[in-house]
Amino acid sequence: MEAALAFVVSVFFAVAIYLMLSKHIIRILLGVSIFGNAVNLSIFTAGRLMREVPPIIPEALQTPDSAIANPLPQALVLTAIVISFSLFAFLLVLAFRAYQELGTDDTDGMRVAEPEGEPLPPLGY
Amino acid sequence: MAAESIDISDAMVIQPTTLGDWMIVAPVGVPILFAAILLMVRHETRLHAGIAITGLLLTLAANAALLLQVLADGPQVMTMGRWLPPFGISFVADALGASLAFVATLVAAVCALYAMKDIGATGRRYGFYPFVMALMAGVGGSFLTGDIFNLYVWFEVFLISSFGLLILGSTERQLDGATKYAILNLVGTTLFLTATAYLYGTFGTLNMADIARRVDAVRDTGPLMTLAVLYLLAFGMKAAAFPVNFWLPASYHTPRIVTAALFGGVLTKVGVYALLRVLVMMFPVERVELSGVIAWVAAGTMVLGIMGALAQSDVRRVLGFVVISGVGVMLAGLALGTEEGLTGTVLYAFHSILAMTALYLLAGVMKELGGSYSLHELGGLYRAYPAMGAFALILMLAVAGLPPASGLWPKILLVQASLESGLPWLALAILATGLLTTIALGRVYILAIWRNRPEGAPSGEPNARPGLGYVSLALLCIPIILLGVYPEPFIRIAETAAAGLLDPSAYIGAVFPVEAAQ
Amino acid sequence: MRTLIFRTVAPYLTSLMILFSVFVLLRGHNEPGGGFIGGLIAASAFAIYGIACGVSPVRRALYFHPMAISGFGLLVSALAGWLSYFFQVPFMTGLWTKVNFLGVPLDLSTVLFFDIGVYLVVLGSITSIALALEEREHG
C-alpha cells in the first residue's frame, strides 16, 4: 500500500513542478496547490499506513487495550490543509487583483516593480 | 471521578509552573493577545499605535527576563498542555532563540513607533498594527519553539501576516512584488513541510531535542543527507540565499518603508536561525559534508548580493541587495561550523537585525526630507539636516563593517574563523564584500547626503518634521554603537548560543530532565 | 441567484445552519465536530444569506464587523490558554470544572472556551472574505 501511495505522491510532485515551471500565474497557483496535496499525502504515508481501530480509549480503561492507528499524521495533515487552504485563498485573491491591475498573468510581463532598462546610478557627482 | 486516583507522573508534567516559566510563552502569547485586542478596536485608529507599542514593550520585557534567565540557568522549557515531551509541544528557549527574539522585538517596537507617522488612518483600519503583532507572534514562536512542525506553523503565521503587510495600500507595484514574494515563499514553506514529512517518517518524532539525541542511532538507515539538503534548500529560500534569493529584491522595495524595515531586519534572520537550528544542532555530520556547498552558497550570496546593490539607483533596492549580502556573511559561519564561526554568525545576526531596520527607516526619513528614493534626485541633505547625515554615517559604517559600529566584530570573528579553518578564499570573499558594501553605501551617502542638491530635484515635504524618525533612528543607533565599542557582553551571548548549538546536551537535558539524569 | 424561492428560504436555512453549527461546536466536546468545522458551517450560512439577500443585510444582522468577531475569538482562545497560569500548570493545559446549571450537571473546560474562540475566528475571517468577494460581484 505504501508503494502505491508513494507512486501517487511522485506523480503529484511531477505534475506540480511541471505546472510551477510555467510563466502563467494561474498555472503556477494550480501547481502550488497540487504541491501542497502531494506533501499532505506524503505526511500521511510517512506516518505508516495500517488498518487498526481509531485511537479511542474505551471508557472504563486508562490506556488503549489493543493496537490503534497513529493519530498524529492526521493531525499534522489537517493543520497543513487548513494553513495551505488559507494561504491559497489569499494567493488566488492576490493573483486576481494583480491580473486586474497589471492586465497580465504572464510573469515575464509583470515588470512594474522592477521596470526594464532602469538607468544606472550616477557614476560621478 | 476515578482520574483523581491515578498516578499521572508518567504522562504529564507534575511540577507546578512559576512566573519565570511563563516568560517562555509570553513572547508569543502577549503579541497574540494584543493582536486580538487590536482587531476588536479596528475602527478606533487613534488607539492602535499606543496599544501596539504597549504590547511590544511588554513582549520586550518578557524577552529580556527570559534572556537573563537563560543566560543564568541554561535552556528553559515549557511543554504545552502538561503532556510530557516528546508528546506535548515544547517551547525551548536557549541563548540563540532568546537573544534573537529579544533583538527582533526591539526593532519591531521601534518600527511600531516610526509607523505612528508613516501609517495613516487608512492603513491602520486595514490592519497594519494587528498584522505587526501577528508577525511578531510568528517570529517569536519560530525562535522559541522546540518542535519542528510547530516551527512550520509559526513560519506560516508570520508569512500570512507579512502578506497582509506587503499589500497594505494595494498599488500596482505592491501587487506585482507581493505576487512574486507570496508564491516563492509559499513554495519555500511547502518544501519545508516536505522535509518535515520525511523527517517524521524517519524518526517518528518531531521534537527537535528528541531528534538531536536520536540522530546518531538512525544515521546508518535513514536518508539524513536528503533531509539536510531539503532543509538547506527550504530555509535557504526563506533566508534569501543565492541562487534562491530573487524574490527578495523583487518585493522588498514595494511596501511601505516601515514594513520594509521590519521585513529587512527580521524575516531573513528567521531563515538563518532555522538553518542553524536544524543543520548544526540536528544534523551535525551532514552539515560537515555539506559545508563545501554552503561555503560556495555563502560566497555567492554575499558577493553577488552586493554587486546587485552597486547597480541600483533606488535607495530601497540598494538596501534589498545589502540584506542579501548580509545573509551571505551569516551563512559563512554556518559553512565553517566552528564555535568561532557560529559566534560570528549569531553576532552578525544581531547586528544585521538592528542595522538593516535602521537603514530602511533612514531611507524613509530621506524620502520625507529629500522627496525621493532615487539617487538621481536626492542631494543636499547634509547641509539642510546635519543630524540625519550623522545617523546615515553611523549606519553605513555599521553595515560596511567599519569601526566604531556594530558590523566590525562579527566580520573579524568570521574572517579569523575562515582562516583557521583553511578557507582563505571565504575570508577574502567576506573582506571583498565589506569593500564593495563600503563603495555601494558610500555612493549613497555621497549622492544623497553629501553633494549639493541637483537641479530640478523634487523637494521634500514642505513642513517635514523628522523628529519621530530621529528618535527611532537614535533608539536603534544606541545598541549599534554599543555593539561596536563594547562588544564583550554581546560576544559572550553569541558564544553561549554557538556552544549550545554545537553541543546540544544542555538543550536536550532541559527537555528530557528524567532521561538526562539517568 | 436572487429568486423568490431562494430569498424566502434563505433566512430559515441560515438560522437552521447556525443552530446546527453551534450543535457541531458543542458536540466536538467528546465526539467528531468542533470549533473549526462549526465555524465553517456558520460562515457558509452567512454566505448563503449574503447571496440571497445582498451583503448589507448580512452586515446589519452580524452587527459587529466580522474581523472584530474573529479578534474576539482570538482573545477568547488566548485567554483560555493563559488561564492555566493561575493553576500553576503549563500553557494550554485543559482545566475542567463541574457546574450545576438549572439542575443539569455540566462539564466546563478551558478546552471548550478555546474551541469557542476557534469557532469565532473561523466564522469571522471566512465571513469577511466571503462578504468582500460577494460585494465585488454585485457592486
Output the 3-class SS for chain C.
Answer: CCCHHHHHHHHHHHHHHHHHHHHHHHHCCCCCCCHHHHHHHHHHHHHHHHHHHCHHHHHHHHCCCHHHHHHHHHHHHHHHHHHHHHHCCCCCCCCEEEEEECCEEEEEEHHHHHHHHHHHHHHHHHHHHHHHHHHHHHC
pTM for this predicted structure: 0.93
Q: What is the pLDDT of residues B21-70, one digit of tens each?
A: 888 999 999 999 999 999 998 888 888 899 999 999 999 999 999 999 99
CA distance B26 to chain C (A): 9
3-class secondary structure, A91: helix
Asked if residue B5 belongs to a domain, the reply is no
Distance between CA atoms of residues B502 and B338, nearest Å: 8
3-class secondary structure, B92: strand
B312 — contact with chain A (CB < 8 Å)?
yes
Residue B1 has pLDDT above 50, yes or no: no
Residue A106 has pLDDT above 90, yes or no: no
**Which domains, and CATH codes, for chain A?**
2-53+69-106 (1.10.287)
B170 — contact with chain A (CB < 8 Å)?
yes
Q: What is the pLDDT of residues B433-447, one digit of tens each?
A: 999 999 999 999 988
Q: What is the pLDDT of residues A86-103, one digit of tens each?
A: 888 888 888 888 888 888
Distance (Å) of CA B135 to CA A70, B158, B172, B475, C63:
33, 4, 24, 21, 28
Locate the chain A residue with the closest alpha carbon to C126.
A86
Res. B3 pLDDT band, cuts 50 70 90: very low
Alpha-helical (H) ranges within B371-504 are: 381-384, 386-400, 408-420, 424-444, 467-485, 488-502
Which residues in chain A have their CB less than 8 angstroms from residue B172's CB?
101-102, 112
Q: Which of B68, B252, B196, B45 is nearest to B129 (CA)?
A: B45
Q: List the single best residue of C70, C74, C83, C107 to mutate versus B (max B Cβ within 10 A).
A: C74
Which residues in chain A have their CB less than 8 angstroms from residue C133's CB?
93
Q: Which of B508, B344, B375 is nearest to B454 (CA)?
A: B375
Least confident of A24-28, B82-86, B89-93, B334-338: B82-86
- CB interface of B with A, residues 348-387, below 8 Å: 375-376
Looking at the DSSP bridge assignments, the partners of residue B153 are none
3-class secondary structure, B463: coil
Residue of C75, C92, C93 lying closest to B40 (CB–CB): C75
Residue B200 has pLDDT above 60, yes or no: yes
Mean pLDDT along residues B72-81: 89
Asked if residue B138 belongs to a domain, the reply is yes
Q: What is the pLDDT of residues C76-90, one digit of tens each?
A: 999 998 888 888 888
Look at residue C128 in the predicted model and tell me its pLDDT.
Answer: 87
Distance between CA atoms of residues A19 and C130, nearest Å: 28
Do the Cβ atoms of A16 and A29 come closer than 8 Å?
no
Distance between CA atoms of residues C93 and B15, nearest Å: 13
Look at residue B107 in the predicted model and tell me its pLDDT.
Answer: 95
Which residues in chain B have their CB less than 8 angstroms from residue A32's CB?
183, 186-187, 190
3-class secondary structure, B371: coil
Q: What is the pLDDT of residues B398-424, one digit of tens each?
A: 999 888 888 899 999 999 999 999 999
A45 — contact with chain B (CB < 8 Å)?
yes
Max Cα-Cα span within chain A: 85
Look at residue C139 in the predicted model and tell me its pLDDT.
Answer: 47
3-class secondary structure, A106: strand
Residue B260 has pLDDT above 90, yes or no: yes
C75 — contact with chain A (CB < 8 Å)?
no
Mean pLDDT along residues A60-88: 85
Burial class (CB in 10 A: 0-12, 13-18, 19+), C7: middle
Res. B87 pLDDT band, cuts 50 70 90: confident
Say whether B186 and A43 touch across the interface (CB within 8 A). no
Residue C109 has pLDDT above 70, yes or no: yes
Residue B4 has pLDDT above 60, yes or no: no
Look at residue B276 in the predicted model and tell me its pLDDT.
Answer: 95
Residues with Cβ within 8 Å of residue B376, at least 6 apart in sequence: A119, A121, A122, B313, B454
Say whether B36 and C72 touch across the interface (CB within 8 A). yes
Which residues in chain B have their CB less than 8 angstroms from residue C78's CB?
29, 32-33, 36
Residue C95 has pLDDT above 60, yes or no: yes
Asked if residue B57 belongs to a domain, the reply is yes
Q: How many domains does chain B have?
A: 1
A122 — contact with chain B (CB < 8 Å)?
yes
What is the Cα A62 distance to its own chain's centre? Answer: 38
DSSP secondary structure string, B171-213? Answer: -HHHHHHHHHHHHHHHHHHHHHHHHHHHHHHHHS--BHHHHHH
Residues with Cβ within 8 Å of residue B71, at least 6 apart in sequence: B95, B493, B496
Say whether A112 and B197 touch across the interface (CB within 8 A). no
Asked if residue B11 belongs to a domain, the reply is no
Look at residue B516 in the predicted model and tell me its pLDDT.
Answer: 64
Least confident of B451-455, B467-471, B478-482, C61-65: B451-455
Do the Cβ atoms of B225 and B289 come closer than 8 Å?
yes
Look at residue B470 in the predicted model and tell me its pLDDT.
Answer: 92
Say whether C129 and A89 touch across the interface (CB within 8 A). yes
CA distance A17 to chain C (A): 29
A79 — contact with chain B (CB < 8 Å)?
yes
Look at residue B192 in the predicted model and tell me its pLDDT.
Answer: 95
How long, in residues, is chain B?
Answer: 518
A17 — contact with chain C (CB < 8 Å)?
no
Look at residue B5 in the predicted model and tell me its pLDDT.
Answer: 58
Asked if residue B515 belongs to a domain, the reply is no
Say whether A112 and B176 touch across the interface (CB within 8 A). yes
Residue of B13, B38, B42 lying closest to C90 (CB–CB): B13
Least confident of B128-132, B244-248, B374-378, C23-27: B374-378
Q: Which of B166, B167, B168, B161 is nearest to B122 (CA)?
A: B168
Say whether B130 and C71 touch across the interface (CB within 8 A). yes
Alpha-helical (H) ranges within B74-171 are: 95-118, 121-126, 128-144, 148-166
Asked if residue B306 belongs to a domain, the reply is yes
Residue B461 has pLDDT above 80, yes or no: no
Do the Cβ atoms of B252 and B316 come closer than 8 Å?
yes
CA distance A100 to chain C (A): 13
Which residues in chain C have their CB less than 8 angstroms from residue B91's CB?
91
Say whether B81 and C68 touch across the interface (CB within 8 A). no
Res. B2 pLDDT band, cuts 50 70 90: very low
CA distance B223 to chain C (A): 35
Helix B172-203 × helix A25-46 angle, to 10°: 20
For chain B, list the contacting chains (3+ Cβ pairs, <8 Å): A, C
Distance (Å) of CA B342 to CA B3, B9, B130, B502, C24:
49, 38, 34, 9, 51
Q: What is the CA radius of gyration of chain B?
A: 22
Q: What is the pLDDT of residues A26-54, one digit of tens each?
A: 999 999 999 999 999 999 998 888 777 77
Q: List the single best residue of A28, A43, A99 to mutate versus B (max B Cβ within 10 A).
A: A43
CA distance C34 to chain B (A): 18
Least confident of B264-278, B368-382, C17-31, C110-124: B368-382
For residue A102 the three cell numbers come to 497589471
* Mean confidence (pLDDT) of chain B: 90
Q: What is the pLDDT of residues B176-195, one digit of tens each?
A: 899 999 999 999 999 999 99
Structural domain harbouring B86: 16-458+466-508
Looking at the DSSP bridge assignments, the partners of residue B147 are B207
Distance (Å) of CA B181 to CA B240, B242, B322, B443:
11, 16, 18, 28
In the numeric block, the cell 466536546 is attached to C29
Q: What is the pLDDT of residues B18-28, one digit of tens each?
A: 888 888 999 99
Residue of C67, C70, C91 lying closest to B29 (CB–CB): C91
Residues with Cβ within 8 Å of residue C54, at least 6 apart in sequence: C2, C138
For residue C122 the three cell numbers come to 473561523
Residue of B194, B375, B451 lying closest to A121 (CB–CB): B375
Distance between CA atoms of residues B316 and A95, nearest Å: 24
